[in-house]
Structure 1
């Protein structure tokens, strides 16, 4: 099991986590004690990070299966306490899952871009499909200028390369 610092030293993982939980979340991971489970209040006190930030970070990490909690009930008061610990060993599974979601979105966009012809307004930049351009008689609905054909080959090629790179990283190739 890698330490929190070793995991954060990986630039790609750091960027992934930073987008997910921000600066305070990264600091929480850096300062998170590994000796036992901690409540969110204890973590806020130990790490000197705002309680709301601690809670938001923990919930976000939990959603990505990078943290887990155990719930205990105080029988006298009925209050529930959540004891947290990080599960950063699941990092690569989390990244892979997110990449699969991104890959599916890119595939849909690629299909849409490659199956349609587009027209663009040189004045306001409005871009529409050929079908919509025909319906509007190739006149921009925003500024009433004439629409011109828009070559999206550059975008289609970029999407294709991005999809191939992600598929390769995920081992789909």
Structure 2
């Protein structure tokens, strides 16, 4: 498995993890013991990272399937202890999945931009689809000024470029 230090040398991965868990979370990852499972209290003590930050970081990583836990119940007290370990081997798959989600949203937006004709109120700055504009007789429902045709080709072109670049980076262009 690749170490966290090696992963963080990649600027894209570093930026992703920083956005996900922040500087303190990255510090926890850097100090996280390589072997075994550890409770959140133990991790806070061993790493010197605040317990709340440890818990927040672990739960955030868990939501992304980058950390897992095993739950133990103390038979005498009934207390639960969560023993955590990292699954950073899944990091590339998680990032790819998020990129594919973004691609899906951008594709949907591009389709919307390509299939609609738009009208804009120059005073209010609000843009309406042809269907909405026609239902208001091409008058702004806010200020009652005439709506003007809005050319969205720049938006569509930018979306097309972004979609193509993402597809290319995923190897599906």
* TM-score normalised by structure 1 residue count: 0.93
Q: Which of structure 1's runs of 4+ aligned residues deviate more than 3 A?
A: none
Following superposition, the deviation at residue 83 of structure 1 comes to 0.8
Supply the distance in 2 between the matched residues of 1:49 and 1:123 (Cα, whole angstroms). Answer: 52
Supply the distance in 2 between the matched residues of 1:153 and 1:50 (Cα, whole angstroms). Answer: 50
Residue equivalent to 1:147: 147
Alignment deviations for residues 39-96 of structure 1 (CA, whole Å, 9 cap, x no partner): 1111122222222221121111112111111111212112111111111111110001
Alignment deviations for residues 120-149 of structure 1 (CA, whole Å, 9 cap, x no partner): 111121111011011112222223322111
Note if contact 1:4-1:30 (Cα within 8 Å) is conserved in structure 2. yes
SS of equivalent to 2:68: strand
Supply the distance in 2 between the matched residues of 1:143 and 1:39 (Cα, whole angstroms). Answer: 60
Supply the distance in 2 between the matched residues of 1:123 and 1:48 (Cα, whole angstroms). Answer: 56
Residue equivalent to 1:22: 22
Supply the distance in 2 between the matched residues of 1:24 and 1:137 (Cα, whole angstroms). Answer: 56
Do structure 1's residue 115 and structure 2's residue 92 form an aligned pair? no
Following superposition, the deviation at residue 33 of structure 1 comes to 1.8
CA RMSD of aligned residues (A): 1.4
Supply the distance in 2 between the matched residues of 1:62 and 1:87 (Cα, whole angstroms). Answer: 9
SS of equivalent to 1:38: coil
For 1:15-164, what aligned pairs fall within 5 Å after superposition?
15-164=15-164
SS of equivalent to 2:141: coil
Residue equivalent to 1:5: 5
Note if contact 1:126-1:142 (Cα within 8 Å) is conserved in structure 2. no
Residue equivalent to 1:167: 167
* TM-score normalised by structure 2 residue count: 0.93
With 140-149 and 122-131 compared, the bigger mean Cα shift is at 140-149
Structure 2 residue runs of 5 or longer lacking an equivalent are none
